[in-house]
Structure 1
């Protein structure tokens, strides 16, 4: 009997990058669902307010504006290396190798990395204390590093979005 491997194909969608002094668009792996809706397959490295598993509707593809149609139940976390290590690919790999196994224990994954930056997707069911514990320990281990949730707080008001309740 011939065995066939099914390969999942996906597209990329332009998502606006705003805040932190950065603007533009990021190409994010996504699956087109129709009616302008897209399922985000990996949490973006730079874009805020969404995570893997979310369904979004593109408002303007050219500039990447979007609205979240539904949440996929995942938290996205960015981890930035210290200023001294931002351009060091070995440091990025080393840090990712230390943090990723702990994230995997919570059911999460490393969704992307570039020099000095990693983005993780973690199920919200893991609990905020467990997530925060991992990244607090990482900050202790890698002085000068910083981390942030990217889809938990409103970018304008700073208030929790509370989509997990």
Structure 2
């Protein structure tokens, strides 16, 4: 399965960095949101990407959107990652790869590295844009532009 433009967010629950259950459907009808998948906590590219989302988080909030990061790292790893880099958004643990499968995020580099992909959903939870690139820096401007276009 792979999400296509116009598809609704999958009905999925994952645990956040605090061990609390997060359900994507809780955002439907509330606000647009950005879901970004990244390979691993504390790696150079992933740290740069998370910190870039952090540094521009207010721009996302001004557009009415929430940011949600997902990797297969544990909740404990996410808690340390969030604390060390003062990340203001939700980071979800996908240890069993269920979210990657439902979203259709494919591995990169001959299947050795989990994929890096960003999804933009509108107020109703409908996928409006998806962007796939291992270049961590490109995801933030792509996401902001896509949010501006769906307003």
Q: Same-fold call, TM > 0.5?
A: no
| Length-normalised TM-score, structure 2 | 0.31
Highest RCO, 1 vs 2 (Cα 8 Å, sep ≥ 6):
2
Which of 1 and 2 has greater Rg?
1
Structure with greater helix percent: 2
Structure with greater strand percent: 1
